[in-house]
Amino acid sequence: MLATLAEEADTRKDPVARGLYIYCATYRFVAAVLMQADILPHLTQLSKLFQKEDVNFLAIRDHVSCDVYFFVLIIGEIIPSNCPH
């Protein structure tokens, strides 16, 4: 994506492509995208648990606990081995 934006900015002199390239090439943007790639699958799974017709709140409690541990893992802690993920 960045290569395409850079090419558009250079060859076509497109100011929008240049602005997007400058924004997307920052460390902060790349870090946010990578963090979302790690977190969104867990949030999706948790959301699907809440959408079931017959919600098992004990299972939800276990998943929430493990998701919290996983999010702490992203910060640098260790995830327990008894998580259902």
pLDDT single digits (tens) 36-46: 888 888 888 88
Which pLDDT band, with edges at 50, 70 and 90, does 77 fall under?
A: low
Instruction: Say what the pLDDT of residue 76 is.
Output: 67
Q: 11-32 pLDDT, tens per residue?
A: 999 999 999 999 999 988 988 8
> 47, 41 in Cβ contact below 8 A?
no
pLDDT of residue 59: 76
